[in-house]
Amino acid sequence: MIKDKGIVVNKVNYKENSLIVKIFTYTLGLKPYVIDNGKKNNPSTFELANMIEFISDNKKNNTFGYIKESTVFFNNRDQYDIKKQLVLTVVADIINRTLPEGLYDQNIFNFIWDALSYLHVNTLNSNIFLTNFMIKLLRHLGYNISSHNLTHTKCNITLMKKVVEYYKQYFPLMAKIKSIDTYISIFSI
C-alpha cells in the first residue's frame, strides 16, 4: 500500500459502477487507477483537476493501481466561478496530453501542485494564469520557449493562441484538446 497525493487528469466509466482515473501523482507520475464503486461512493472526489490524497495498491506487473481510500484537498466544484472551472479543466487536459505515463519528476509535480493550489484559493485573471502556466510547464519539461518566440501583445488571448500552437508542434495530442479551443472561443469575445 502506498500513500500518495495527486491531481486527477482524466476519468472514464468502467463497468457498471467503477471508474478508471488517470492521476498525476507525486511518487509514481502519471498513472491509471481503478476505483471500484467509484460512481456510487464519492463520485465528486475524482472530478478533473481535483487535488487528492489517497492510499493505493500498486502491484508490480499491473498497469492499473487500485485506490482504496481518498480525500480531497481542493476540488473543481466552484459553481460560482465558471472561468476557474474551465481553466482547471484545461490544465488537467494539458497534463494528460503532455506528460508521458510513468514520468515522475517531483519538481514538475510540485510546480503543478503549487500552481493549482494558488488558483484554487485566489481570484485572478484566468487568461494570464493559464498562459503563464503553459509557458512555465514547457520550461519545466525542458523546452526553451523564450520571449522572442512569443512576443507579448496587449491581447492575452493572442499570446495564449501562440503558446497553444507551440504545444501542438511538440505534443501532437494537444490538437485533440477541445477544452482549450472552448476556452479561447469563450474568452476572446
**CATH architecture label of 2-74:** Beta Barrel (2.40)
For the chain, give the mean pLDDT: 81
Q: Higher confidence at residue 92 or residue 181?
A: 92
**% pLDDT > 70, the chain:** 83
Helix/strand/coil (H/E/C) assignment for every residue in the chain:
CEEEEEEEEEEEEECCCEEEEEEEECCCEEEEEEECCCCCCCHHHHCCCCEEEEEEECCCCCCCEEEEEEEEEECCCCCCCHHHHHHHHHHHHHHHHHCCECCCCHHHHHHHHHHHHHHHHCCCCHHHHHHHHHHHHHHHCCCCCCCCCCCCCCCHHHHHHHHHHHHHHHCHHHHHCHHHHHHHHHHCC
pLDDT the model gives residue 170: 80
% of the chain at pLDDT higher than 90 = 17
Q: What is the pTM of this model?
A: 0.83
Q: pLDDT tens, 126-168?
A: 777 888 898 899 888 888 766 545 544 445 667 777 788 888 8
Residue 6 confidence (pLDDT): 94
Return residue ranges of the chain for CATH 2.40.50.140: 2-74
pLDDT of residue 34: 87
Of 181 and 149, the structure prediction assigns the larger pLDDT to: 181
pLDDT single digits (tens) 68-105: 888 888 766 665 677 788 888 889 999 988 888 877 88
24 vs 185: which has the higher pLDDT: 24
